[in-house]
A and B are shown apart, each in its own frame.
Chain A
């Protein structure tokens, strides 16, 4: 008898365990935060503190130190500081990014920009071995090799034969990457790629030591002693899910620029714990978006307040294969009817900014910030049109009842938490007022949402997308019909053509033209997606911290940071 009871109990436990699934923190996934490592300017310090250390927060456990595997921003943060990429995206005093020489002391390309040559700098690994061009070559090849199964390898597709190597049709030897000698790395591209330089500081192009990787096997990157380092810092302590310690790397070529001796990164996920830690000074910097804490910290005169625009867009997207949303006018109506300013203020407490374009702010095209020079198609849509009239027109075109109150549509939200419940109710109310339709809200946990979108089992979806590298093509090519990344089922010949044209065009002015038109088609003419807001982050840090930068794409890490007057 008792055994049966155990069995029943165990099964009940199991079911309970499975139901608990719902209590996760999905919003963390929907919101793609950029890495906490941001650049800093290089102002000259005269009387810096004798003890140089920082206590910072890392938002979650890094998945791995294997640059080829994993793709989370937390491991990116660590990788940026312990490895030396070919280049770093550094930041000047006006917080403008510029590409700085790092692992490569100089680089050059042939006339049409299809072959790049990098001169590798004299540098030493933490075990005393010299850094060679072959280490960079091996890192790139390993990232693209099929059996590595790197999730992030797709950004390297501009490299010659990358796609065929990744699918196993060609051996890695045929990849367009080779070291001509110990100091020269040559990368051949499929064709000239305007944003190629932006890839040279990505994790999948970091150097790796073949001997170490092969000796460690699957364990490579799982613990701090399975890796050798060649960046400004080395990892000297790693308690999983608790703390990491970075220590200045005395073998690093630029060690004279590195002032920090120790950086303690505490992994703290609980919001209250983060605020408490900043309030009592046990960490030197933290993000605080919750209004009551934000206000409290803004009043604290020991703290600097920095608002960071994340290169990411929160948006609704429509299933264009759906019988209602196949109609462009209906989609336009649903986009035009969103009160973006109100949502930003009411739902996001004024932290996030209303979004009127697809490419988020802080992304550059050439030397300009794209959003500053491109028009905003959604503003135009909102100005030009009456949402309700568009809806009725669309319903007519579909031969449906033109009474909006008879129309019921469903929005799928990829999280089951309370915030999304509130958000869903807000949207219901908003569409009821602005369009007079009935909105059903369907909340599900993220993986379920993800898979139902893939199956096309949705009408309207809502999610976020963060940019991987600093070029508008990264965001706009997501709708390229041959490789769609967002499950709208939408395709448009002219749009595809514009993406093709722009990705082969080296002239920023021309590219701006192409992307502007593409964005206009995507958001104004076709409204396959409806951007809602651009997320922003309120970062606070004690005033003694200097030269830790803020740009979201920046990769100089903690290299130039120091404290003064702690």
Chain B
């Protein structure tokens, strides 16, 4: 097991390095530069000073060398070009904490509701609760999140005036965005759980359990849930990575100081250091969450525990 994890971490670092390198050269190869966001052509001398100050006048390979050196030796991702003086590492740290809180709240709302709805639907197959859940899941998947967000905002802050329109800092600020974000997870998990539970319900061991006289509640809890939750864990991996990176759309609608907006705006602004910083962050999270998911499989299902002869 230890060796397995060790090997995995080795591969993870390799993957990360490839992602960084690719991103670095790709972002420098797209036209435009960090001064473009000013939407004005600045005089030559001014641009020259700027490029010199931020080392942009040097060949890309030299910039790459410097960046890697700082990253490896100091863990430093550099200074944002769009927001002079701000450290990319700090920006990511602070903003991902905000996104993380919101994301976890959304998951905490979304997953249990999704799972319960999925089970309810499967147990009542082809009856009205089933159709209702399928309908909700369909809405959750097809309605874009910005519409859900805008509707919630209009309903609860303009019509009802129960909650603040935008902002960040108190619990009340997080309610609407969490719900808006949870919609997607509810829909996804409900659909997954429904089909998994249906599949498990048809298994012989369920019949055995029922024949033994296990109460319906315990059949669901001990036999159905445990066996049907596995695929749901697979999608959890990607979601956890997404938790810290935040949602561009939701953050924009509710003015939340999360990390989501940086992913989009840094590319438009050609804020090179921020682009590479957010990419490294997301890639690392994604890779780590995949590892965690693989390890979780083993916990939930003894059959896939890593053994010496499995590769």
Q: Which residues of A contact B (CB under 8 A)?
A: 1-3, 6-7, 9-11, 13-14, 17-18, 20-21, 23-26, 29-30, 32, 61, 63-64, 66, 69-72, 146-151, 153-154, 163, 166-167, 218-222, 239-243, 266-270, 272-273, 276-277, 279-280, 282, 445-448, 450-452, 454, 463-465, 483-487
Are the C-beta atoms of A465 and B165 separated by less than 8 Å?
no
Contacts of A220 in B (CB 8 A): 85
- Which residues of chain A are within 8 angstroms of B270 by Cβ–Cβ distance? 447
**Which of A3, A447, A483: most chain B CB closer than 10 A?**
A447
The smallest beta-carbon distance between A366 and chain B, in angstroms, is 26
Query: Contact residues of B with A, CB < 8 Å?
Result: 8, 11-12, 15, 18-19, 22-23, 26, 30-33, 35-46, 48-50, 52-54, 79, 82-86, 91, 94-95, 150, 153-154, 157-158, 161, 164-169, 252-258, 261, 263-265, 267-268, 270, 279, 282-283, 286-287, 290, 294, 311
Q: Which residues does chain A contribute within 8 Å of B257, judged by CB atoms?
A: 239-242
Contact A151 B153 (CB under 8 A): no
Chain A, residue nearest B90 (CB): A222
- Would you give the shortest CB distance from A195 to chain B, in whole angstroms? 17
Q: Would A279 and B158 be within 8 Å (CB), given that A220-B85, A266-B255 are in contact?
A: yes
In the complex, what's the smallest C-beta–C-beta distance from A355 to chain B, in angstroms?
18
Known: A6-B12, A451-B33. 6 other contacts (CB 8 A): A20-B263, A63-B82, A151-B42, A153-B46, A268-B255, A452-B31
- Closest-CB distance, A487 to chain B (whole angstroms): 7
Query: In the complex, are the beta carbons of A269 and B264 less than 8 A apart?
Result: no
Contact A242 B32 (CB under 8 A): no
Name the A residues within 8 Å of B254 (CB-CB): 273
Chain B residues near A452 (CB-CB < 8 A): 31
- State A408–B254 Cα separation when bound (angstroms): 45
Chain B residues in 8 Å Cβ range of A448: 30-32
A-B contact pairs, 29 of them (CB 8 A): A10-B19, A10-B287, A17-B267, A18-B267, A21-B264, A24-B264, A32-B39, A63-B84, A72-B38, A147-B49, A147-B53, A149-B49, A149-B52, A150-B49, A151-B35, A166-B45, A222-B83, A241-B95, A241-B256, A242-B257, A243-B169, A243-B255, A266-B167, A270-B255, A273-B253, A276-B158, A277-B165, A447-B36, A451-B32
Distance, CA A256 to CA B8, complexed state (A)? 67
Q: A7-B18, A269-B252 are in contact. Are A243 and B167 (CB under 8 A)?
A: yes
B156 CB to nearest chain A CB (Å): 10
Decide: A167 and B45 in contact? CB cutoff 8 A: yes
Whether the Cβ atoms of B83 and A64 lie closer than 8 Å is yes
Given A7-B15, A151-B42, A447-B32, the answer on whether A267 and B283 have CB atoms closer than 8 Å is no
Interface centre among B18, B23, B40 (most CB of A within 10 A): B40
Q: Which 4 A-B pairs have the closest CB atoms?
A: A447-B32, A149-B53, A451-B31, A24-B268
Docked-complex contact B49 and A166, CB < 8 angstroms? yes
CB closest chain-B residue, reference A465: B40
A1 to B270 alpha-carbon distance, docked (Å): 35
Chain B residues with Cβ below 8 Å from A163 are: 45
Q: A221-B84, A447-B33, A447-B268 are in contact. Are A243 and B168 (CB under 8 A)?
A: yes
In the complex, which residues of chain A have a beta carbon less than 8 angstroms from the beta carbon of B286? 9-10, 13
Residue of B nearest to A237 (CB): B169
Query: Across the interface, which residues of A come within 8 angstroms of B287, CB to CB?
Result: 6, 10
CB distance from B16 to the nearest CB of A (A): 8
Residues of B within 8 A of A10 (CB): 15, 18-19, 283, 286-287
B170 to nearest A CB, angstroms? Answer: 12
Task: Tell whether, in the assembled complex, residue B43 and residue A446 are in contact, meaning their CB atoms are under 8 Å apart.
Answer: no
A446 neighbours in B (Cβ, 8 Å): 32, 36-37, 39, 268
Assembled-state Cα–Cα distance A239/B311 (Å): 48
B48 contacts across to A, CB distance below 8 A = 167
Q: A242-B255, A447-B36 are in contact. Are A11 and B267 (CB under 8 A)?
A: no
Q: Is B36's CB under 8 angstroms from A450's CB?
A: yes
CA distance A66 to B169 in the complex (A): 26
Docked pose: A451 CA to B28 CA in angstroms:
13
Is B267 within 8 A of A282, CB to CB? no
CA distance in complex: A272, B148 (Å): 12
| A18: nearest chain-B partner, CB-CB | B26
Say whether A14 contacts B290, CB under 8 Å: no
Contact B268 A272 (CB under 8 A): no
Return the chain B residue nearest A240 by Cβ: B257
In the complex, the answer to whether A151 meets B38 with C-beta atoms within 8 Å is yes
Q: How far is the CA of A7 from the CA of B158 in the complex (A)?
A: 46
Cα A289 to Cα B37 in complex, Å, equals 23
A212 CB to closest chain B CB, in angstroms?
13
| Contact status B84-A280, CB under 8 Å | no
Residues of B within 8 A of A6 (CB): 11-12, 15, 287, 290
Q: How far is the CA of A221 from the CA of B167 in the complex (A)?
A: 23
Q: How far does the alpha carbon of A17 sit from the alpha carbon of B286 in the complex, in Å? A: 14
A448 to B42 CA separation, bound complex (whole angstroms): 16
Residues of chain B within 8 A (CB-CB) of A148 are 49, 53
Of all chain A residues, the one with the shortest Cβ separation from B32 is A447
Given contacts A17-B279, A149-B49, A266-B166, contact A486 B85 (CB under 8 A): no
User: How far, in Å, is B33 (CB) from chain A's closest CB?
Assistant: 7
With A6-B287, A63-B84, A221-B84 as known contacts, state yes or no: A269 contacts B255, CB within 8 Å: yes
Kindly provide the distance from the CB of B51 to the nearest chain A CB, expressed in whole angstroms: 8
Say which residue of B11, B19, B41, B267 sits within 8 Å of A3 (CB atoms): B11
B110 to chain A, nearest CB (A): 22
Closest A residue by C-beta to B259: A241
B13 to chain A, nearest CB (A): 11
Q: Which A residues lie within 8 Å of B31 (CB)?
A: 447-448, 450-452
The CA-CA distance from A169 to B95 in the complex, in Å, is 42
A464 to B41, CA, bound (A): 12
B267: which of A21, A451, A463 is its contact (CB, 8 Å)? A21
| Contact assessment for A239 and B15 in the assembled complex, using a CB-CB cutoff below 8 Å | no
A219 vs B22: C-alpha distance in the bound complex, in angstroms? 30
By a CB distance below 8 angstroms, the chain B residues around A222 are 83-86
Chain A residues, CB < 8 A from B168? 239, 242-243
CB pair B265 A24 closer than 8 Å: yes
Selected contact of B39 from candidates A29, A167, A218, A451, CB within 8 Å:
A29
A282 CA / B164 CA spacing, docked (Å): 8
8 Å CB contact of A268 from B19, B40, B166: B166
State A13–B38 Cα separation when bound (angstroms): 29
Distance in Å: Cβ of B96 to nearest Cβ of chain A: 13
Neighbouring B residues of A280 by C-beta, 8 Å: 157-158, 161, 165
Tell me which residues across on chain B come within 8 A of A1, comparing CB atoms: 311
Tell whether, in the assembled complex, residue A151 and residue B264 are in contact, meaning their CB atoms are under 8 Å apart: no
**Are the CB atoms of B36 and A242 closer together than 8 Å?**
no
**Minimal beta-carbon separation of B12 from chain A (angstroms):** 8
Given the known inter-chain contacts A63-B84, A272-B150, A445-B268, please indicate yes or no for A14 contacting B19, CB distance below 8 A. Answer: yes
Contacts of B15 in A (CB 8 A): 3, 6-7, 10
Q: Nearest-CB distance from B252 to chain A (Å)?
A: 5
Is A17 a contact partner of B85 (Cβ separation < 8 A)? no
